[in-house]
Amino acid sequence: MRHPRLGVAILTMGNRPQELQALLDSVAKQDTAPAHVVVVGNGSPLPPLPDGVTGIELPENLGVSGGRNVALRALQEAGDVDVVVDLDDDGLLISPDVFTLIQSLYERDNRLGIVSFRIADETGHTQRRHVPRLRASDPMRRGLVTTFLGGGHALSMPMLEQTGGWPEEFFYAHEETDLAWRALDAGWKILYEPALVLQHPRTLPTRHAVYHRMVARNRVWLAKRHLPAVLAPVYLTVWTLLTLARTRSLGGLRAWAGGFREGLRTPCGRRRPVRWATVWRMTRLGRPPII
Protein backbone atom coordinates (compact mmCIF):
# COMPACT_ATOMS: atom_id res chain seq x y z
CA MET A 1 0.00 0.00 0.00
CA ARG A 2 1.51 3.34 -1.05
CA HIS A 3 0.74 6.62 0.72
CA PRO A 4 -2.25 5.26 2.64
CA ARG A 5 -4.86 7.83 3.56
CA LEU A 6 -5.99 7.76 7.18
CA GLY A 7 -9.46 8.10 8.62
CA VAL A 8 -10.00 8.64 12.35
CA ALA A 9 -12.97 7.18 14.27
CA ILE A 10 -13.84 8.24 17.82
CA LEU A 11 -16.75 7.06 19.97
CA THR A 12 -18.14 9.11 22.82
CA MET A 13 -21.05 8.84 25.23
CA GLY A 14 -21.10 12.60 25.76
CA ASN A 15 -19.70 12.44 29.30
CA ARG A 16 -16.14 13.56 28.55
CA PRO A 17 -16.40 16.72 26.42
CA GLN A 18 -13.13 18.24 27.65
CA GLU A 19 -11.16 15.05 27.04
CA LEU A 20 -12.75 14.68 23.60
CA GLN A 21 -11.74 18.22 22.67
CA ALA A 22 -8.18 17.60 23.86
CA LEU A 23 -8.01 14.43 21.75
CA LEU A 24 -9.32 16.25 18.67
CA ASP A 25 -6.73 18.99 19.25
CA SER A 26 -3.99 16.34 19.34
CA VAL A 27 -5.35 14.84 16.10
CA ALA A 28 -5.25 18.27 14.46
CA LYS A 29 -1.59 18.70 15.47
CA GLN A 30 -0.42 15.54 13.67
CA ASP A 31 2.26 15.97 11.00
CA THR A 32 0.20 13.82 8.62
CA ALA A 33 -3.34 15.10 8.39
CA PRO A 34 -6.11 12.47 8.25
CA ALA A 35 -8.42 12.50 5.25
CA HIS A 36 -11.48 12.31 7.52
CA VAL A 37 -12.33 12.44 11.22
CA VAL A 38 -15.63 10.95 12.41
CA VAL A 39 -17.02 11.31 15.94
CA VAL A 40 -19.97 9.11 16.89
CA GLY A 41 -22.22 10.05 19.80
CA ASN A 42 -23.15 6.58 21.03
CA GLY A 43 -26.67 7.23 22.30
CA SER A 44 -25.83 10.79 23.28
CA PRO A 45 -25.75 14.27 21.73
CA LEU A 46 -22.39 15.61 20.62
CA PRO A 47 -20.72 18.80 21.81
CA PRO A 48 -19.70 21.37 19.20
CA LEU A 49 -17.01 19.86 16.97
CA PRO A 50 -14.16 21.54 15.10
CA ASP A 51 -14.58 22.40 11.44
CA GLY A 52 -13.94 19.44 9.18
CA VAL A 53 -14.96 16.84 11.78
CA THR A 54 -18.04 14.77 10.93
CA GLY A 55 -20.41 14.15 13.83
CA ILE A 56 -22.97 11.34 13.94
CA GLU A 57 -25.48 11.18 16.80
CA LEU A 58 -27.07 7.78 17.45
CA PRO A 59 -30.46 7.60 19.19
CA GLU A 60 -29.29 4.65 21.31
CA ASN A 61 -26.05 3.18 22.58
CA LEU A 62 -25.00 0.45 20.14
CA GLY A 63 -21.99 -0.58 22.21
CA VAL A 64 -18.36 -0.39 21.20
CA SER A 65 -18.81 -2.72 18.23
CA GLY A 66 -21.98 -1.13 16.89
CA GLY A 67 -20.70 2.42 17.31
CA ARG A 68 -17.41 1.63 15.60
CA ASN A 69 -19.24 0.03 12.70
CA VAL A 70 -21.23 3.25 12.23
CA ALA A 71 -17.98 5.22 12.05
CA LEU A 72 -16.46 2.59 9.77
CA ARG A 73 -19.36 2.78 7.32
CA ALA A 74 -19.07 6.58 7.24
CA LEU A 75 -15.37 6.29 6.37
CA GLN A 76 -16.06 3.59 3.78
CA GLU A 77 -18.66 5.80 2.14
CA ALA A 78 -16.10 8.60 1.93
CA GLY A 79 -14.21 6.31 -0.44
CA ASP A 80 -10.71 7.67 0.11
CA VAL A 81 -9.59 6.00 3.35
CA ASP A 82 -7.06 3.16 3.38
CA VAL A 83 -6.44 2.88 7.13
CA VAL A 84 -8.90 3.45 10.00
CA VAL A 85 -7.51 4.75 13.29
CA ASP A 86 -9.77 4.10 16.30
CA LEU A 87 -9.12 6.21 19.41
CA ASP A 88 -10.73 6.29 22.87
CA ASP A 89 -12.37 9.64 23.56
CA ASP A 90 -10.39 10.09 26.80
CA GLY A 91 -7.08 9.28 25.12
CA LEU A 92 -4.46 11.74 23.89
CA LEU A 93 -1.83 11.61 21.14
CA ILE A 94 1.22 13.09 22.83
CA SER A 95 3.51 12.95 19.78
CA PRO A 96 2.80 14.74 16.48
CA ASP A 97 4.27 11.95 14.33
CA VAL A 98 1.84 9.12 15.22
CA PHE A 99 -0.03 9.23 11.93
CA THR A 100 3.20 9.59 9.95
CA LEU A 101 4.55 6.42 11.55
CA ILE A 102 1.30 4.55 10.91
CA GLN A 103 1.43 5.59 7.28
CA SER A 104 5.02 4.37 6.91
CA LEU A 105 4.21 1.01 8.53
CA TYR A 106 1.41 0.33 6.07
CA GLU A 107 3.46 1.58 3.13
CA ARG A 108 6.14 -1.02 3.87
CA ASP A 109 3.85 -4.06 4.26
CA ASN A 110 0.66 -4.60 2.29
CA ARG A 111 -0.25 -7.60 4.48
CA LEU A 112 -0.21 -5.54 7.65
CA GLY A 113 -3.78 -5.66 8.89
CA ILE A 114 -3.76 -4.23 12.41
CA VAL A 115 -1.37 -2.02 14.36
CA SER A 116 -1.80 -1.85 18.13
CA PHE A 117 -0.69 1.25 20.02
CA ARG A 118 0.96 1.30 23.43
CA ILE A 119 -1.40 2.63 26.09
CA ALA A 120 0.38 4.66 28.78
CA ASP A 121 -0.87 6.79 31.67
CA GLU A 122 0.22 10.35 32.45
CA THR A 123 3.44 9.04 34.04
CA GLY A 124 4.34 6.93 31.00
CA HIS A 125 3.46 3.65 32.73
CA THR A 126 1.80 0.87 30.74
CA GLN A 127 -0.42 -1.54 32.66
CA ARG A 128 0.28 -5.23 32.17
CA ARG A 129 -3.20 -5.80 30.72
CA HIS A 130 -2.41 -3.26 28.01
CA VAL A 131 0.41 -5.33 26.51
CA PRO A 132 -1.19 -7.69 23.94
CA ARG A 133 0.94 -10.77 24.58
CA LEU A 134 1.48 -13.24 27.41
CA ARG A 135 5.02 -12.11 28.29
CA ALA A 136 4.07 -8.58 29.22
CA SER A 137 6.93 -7.50 31.50
CA ASP A 138 8.47 -5.30 28.79
CA PRO A 139 5.86 -3.03 27.17
CA MET A 140 8.55 -1.56 24.88
CA ARG A 141 9.15 -4.80 22.98
CA ARG A 142 7.49 -4.56 19.58
CA GLY A 143 6.52 -7.48 17.42
CA LEU A 144 3.79 -9.54 15.81
CA VAL A 145 0.98 -10.54 18.17
CA THR A 146 -2.40 -12.28 18.09
CA THR A 147 -4.66 -9.51 19.42
CA PHE A 148 -4.67 -5.74 19.89
CA LEU A 149 -5.80 -2.92 22.16
CA GLY A 150 -9.19 -1.32 21.70
CA GLY A 151 -8.18 2.10 23.02
CA GLY A 152 -5.79 2.91 20.19
CA HIS A 153 -5.16 0.98 16.99
CA ALA A 154 -5.11 1.15 13.21
CA LEU A 155 -6.98 -1.16 10.82
CA SER A 156 -6.37 -1.78 7.14
CA MET A 157 -9.47 -1.00 5.12
CA PRO A 158 -8.71 -3.81 2.60
CA MET A 159 -8.52 -6.19 5.56
CA LEU A 160 -11.88 -5.02 6.89
CA GLU A 161 -13.44 -5.40 3.46
CA GLN A 162 -12.24 -9.01 3.40
CA THR A 163 -12.95 -10.04 7.00
CA GLY A 164 -15.93 -7.85 7.87
CA GLY A 165 -16.23 -5.23 10.57
CA TRP A 166 -16.83 -5.36 14.30
CA PRO A 167 -19.05 -8.10 15.81
CA GLU A 168 -22.11 -6.09 16.78
CA GLU A 169 -23.55 -8.94 18.86
CA PHE A 170 -20.69 -8.50 21.35
CA PHE A 171 -21.65 -4.89 22.29
CA TYR A 172 -18.62 -4.64 24.62
CA ALA A 173 -15.70 -6.95 25.59
CA HIS A 174 -13.54 -9.21 23.42
CA GLU A 175 -14.63 -7.55 20.19
CA GLU A 176 -10.94 -6.92 19.40
CA THR A 177 -10.11 -10.62 19.80
CA ASP A 178 -12.95 -11.60 17.49
CA LEU A 179 -11.70 -9.25 14.80
CA ALA A 180 -8.07 -10.28 15.39
CA TRP A 181 -8.77 -13.99 14.97
CA ARG A 182 -10.64 -13.35 11.72
CA ALA A 183 -7.75 -11.23 10.45
CA LEU A 184 -5.14 -13.86 11.33
CA ASP A 185 -7.20 -16.60 9.70
CA ALA A 186 -7.32 -14.54 6.51
CA GLY A 187 -3.53 -14.20 6.49
CA TRP A 188 -3.15 -10.65 7.84
CA LYS A 189 -0.51 -9.52 10.36
CA ILE A 190 -1.06 -7.82 13.72
CA LEU A 191 1.79 -5.62 14.96
CA TYR A 192 2.25 -4.22 18.46
CA GLU A 193 4.18 -0.98 17.97
CA PRO A 194 5.11 0.69 21.30
CA ALA A 195 6.42 3.78 19.52
CA LEU A 196 2.76 4.64 18.87
CA VAL A 197 1.54 5.98 22.21
CA LEU A 198 -1.97 6.85 23.31
CA GLN A 199 -1.91 8.54 26.68
CA HIS A 200 -4.88 7.28 28.68
CA PRO A 201 -5.86 7.58 32.36
CA ARG A 202 -5.15 4.49 34.41
CA THR A 203 -8.39 2.55 34.81
CA LEU A 204 -9.76 -0.82 35.89
CA PRO A 205 -11.90 -2.85 33.45
CA THR A 206 -14.34 -3.59 36.28
CA ARG A 207 -15.41 0.08 36.24
CA HIS A 208 -18.05 -1.00 33.71
CA ALA A 209 -21.17 -2.33 35.46
CA VAL A 210 -21.64 -5.06 32.84
CA TYR A 211 -17.99 -6.12 32.81
CA HIS A 212 -18.23 -9.58 34.39
CA ARG A 213 -21.32 -10.62 32.43
CA MET A 214 -20.08 -9.38 29.06
CA VAL A 215 -16.60 -10.84 29.50
CA ALA A 216 -18.03 -14.29 30.26
CA ARG A 217 -20.73 -14.27 27.58
CA ASN A 218 -18.44 -13.01 24.85
CA ARG A 219 -15.67 -15.43 25.82
CA VAL A 220 -18.11 -18.29 25.19
CA TRP A 221 -19.17 -16.67 21.92
CA LEU A 222 -15.54 -16.44 20.79
CA ALA A 223 -15.17 -20.18 21.29
CA LYS A 224 -18.46 -20.95 19.57
CA ARG A 225 -17.72 -18.69 16.60
CA HIS A 226 -14.05 -19.37 15.94
CA LEU A 227 -12.42 -22.33 17.66
CA PRO A 228 -12.16 -25.87 16.28
CA ALA A 229 -14.54 -28.08 18.25
CA VAL A 230 -11.76 -29.88 20.11
CA LEU A 231 -10.22 -26.61 21.37
CA ALA A 232 -13.39 -24.81 22.51
CA PRO A 233 -13.87 -26.73 25.80
CA VAL A 234 -10.15 -26.44 26.60
CA TYR A 235 -10.24 -22.68 26.04
CA LEU A 236 -13.33 -22.22 28.22
CA THR A 237 -11.97 -24.46 30.97
CA VAL A 238 -8.71 -22.51 31.13
CA TRP A 239 -10.55 -19.19 31.39
CA THR A 240 -12.99 -20.53 33.97
CA LEU A 241 -10.10 -21.58 36.21
CA LEU A 242 -8.35 -18.23 35.71
CA THR A 243 -11.54 -16.35 36.57
CA LEU A 244 -12.09 -18.37 39.74
CA ALA A 245 -8.50 -17.68 40.78
CA ARG A 246 -8.57 -13.95 40.02
CA THR A 247 -12.06 -12.75 40.96
CA ARG A 248 -12.42 -11.59 44.56
CA SER A 249 -16.04 -10.45 44.39
CA LEU A 250 -18.88 -12.91 44.96
CA GLY A 251 -21.20 -10.59 43.04
CA GLY A 252 -18.70 -10.52 40.19
CA LEU A 253 -18.58 -14.32 40.10
CA ARG A 254 -22.37 -14.51 40.02
CA ALA A 255 -22.51 -12.05 37.13
CA TRP A 256 -19.76 -13.99 35.35
CA ALA A 257 -21.64 -17.29 35.78
CA GLY A 258 -24.81 -15.70 34.42
CA GLY A 259 -22.92 -14.39 31.40
CA PHE A 260 -21.32 -17.80 30.81
CA ARG A 261 -24.75 -19.47 30.77
CA GLU A 262 -26.06 -16.76 28.47
CA GLY A 263 -23.20 -17.38 26.08
CA LEU A 264 -23.93 -21.11 25.96
CA ARG A 265 -27.63 -20.78 25.24
CA THR A 266 -27.80 -17.74 22.94
CA PRO A 267 -26.84 -17.39 19.26
CA CYS A 268 -23.67 -15.47 18.47
CA GLY A 269 -23.60 -15.16 14.69
CA ARG A 270 -22.19 -17.44 12.06
CA ARG A 271 -19.67 -20.09 13.12
CA ARG A 272 -16.43 -19.93 11.14
CA PRO A 273 -13.73 -21.93 12.95
CA VAL A 274 -10.17 -20.86 12.24
CA ARG A 275 -7.96 -23.19 10.26
CA TRP A 276 -5.46 -25.42 12.06
CA ALA A 277 -2.74 -23.53 10.21
CA THR A 278 -3.95 -20.40 12.02
CA VAL A 279 -3.90 -22.21 15.35
CA TRP A 280 -0.27 -23.15 14.70
CA ARG A 281 0.57 -19.61 13.60
CA MET A 282 -0.89 -18.21 16.82
CA THR A 283 1.04 -20.77 18.82
CA ARG A 284 4.30 -19.76 17.11
CA LEU A 285 3.50 -16.14 17.94
CA GLY A 286 3.39 -17.13 21.60
CA ARG A 287 -0.33 -17.31 22.28
CA PRO A 288 -2.16 -20.49 21.26
CA PRO A 289 -5.94 -19.94 21.18
CA ILE A 290 -6.56 -21.77 24.44
CA ILE A 291 -5.05 -19.02 26.63
Render pLDDT for 113-147 as a digit per residue (tens, 0 to 9).
999 999 999 999 998 888 898 887 899 999 999 99
- If asked whether residues 49 and 146 sit together in one domain, one would say yes
Nearest-5° angle of CA 16, CA 17, CA 22? Answer: 100
- With respect to residue 267, please indicate whether it lies within any of the assigned structural domains: yes
Closest to 226 in 3D by CA, of 172, 177, 277: 177
With respect to residue 290, please indicate whether it lies within any of the assigned structural domains: no
State residue 206's pLDDT score.
56
Q: Is the pLDDT of residue 195 over 90?
A: yes
**Which is nearest to 202 in space by CA: 95, 149, 127, 92?**
127
Amino acid 291: pLDDT: 83
Cα(88)–Cα(23) distance, rounded to whole angstroms? Answer: 9
Alpha helices (H) along the chain: 17-28, 63-78, 98-108, 157-163, 175-185, 211-226, 232-246, 250-265, 276-284
pTM confidence score:
0.94
Q: pLDDT per residue over 196-244, tens digit each?
A: 999 999 876 655 558 899 999 999 999 999 999 999 999 999 999 999 9
**Which of 113, 93, 236 lies closest to 174, judged by CA?**
236
* Same domain, yes or no: 47 and 128: yes
| 289 within domain boundaries | no
Same-domain check for residues 110 and 191: yes
In 3D space, the residue among 158, 199, 174, 154 whose CA is nearest the CA of residue 63 turns out to be: 174
Q: Is 169 found in the same domain as 67? A: yes
Please indicate, yes or no, whether residues 184 and 249 belong to a single structural domain of this protein.
no
Which residues does 248 contact at the CB level (< 8 Å), separation at least 6?
none
Does residue 36 fall inside a structural domain?
yes
Range of the domain at 262: 209-284
Q: 188 and 229 share a domain? A: no
pLDDT of residue 128: 87
Domain boundary among 186, 203, 220: 203
250-260 b/e (C-beta count within 10 Å ≥ 16 → b): eebeebbeebb
Residue 261 has pLDDT above 90, yes or no: yes
- Confirm whether 28 is domain-assigned: yes
Q: Are residues 149 and 260 in the same domain?
A: no
Whether residue 193 sits in one domain with residue 259: no
One domain for residues 126 and 73: yes
**230, 235, 237, 243 alpha-carbon torsion, rounded to 10°:** -170
Contact, 142 vs 194, CB < 8 A? Answer: yes
Instruction: Identify the pLDDT of residue 177.
Output: 97
Backbone angles phi, psi at 56, to 5 degrees: -130, 120
CA Rg value for the chain: 18
Indicate the number of domains in the chain: 2
Q: Is residue 1 part of a domain?
A: no
Residues 138 and 253 occupy one common structural domain: no
Arithmetic mean of pLDDT, 44-57: 96
Phi, psi of 150, rounded to the nearest 5 degrees: -70, -30
172 with 228, same domain?
no
Q: Check residue 209 and give its pLDDT.
A: 55
Domain harbouring 177, CATH code: 3.90.550.10
From the list 69, 68, 71, the residue with the least C-alpha distance to 56 is: 71
Question: In this structure, is residue 225 part of a structural domain?
Answer: yes
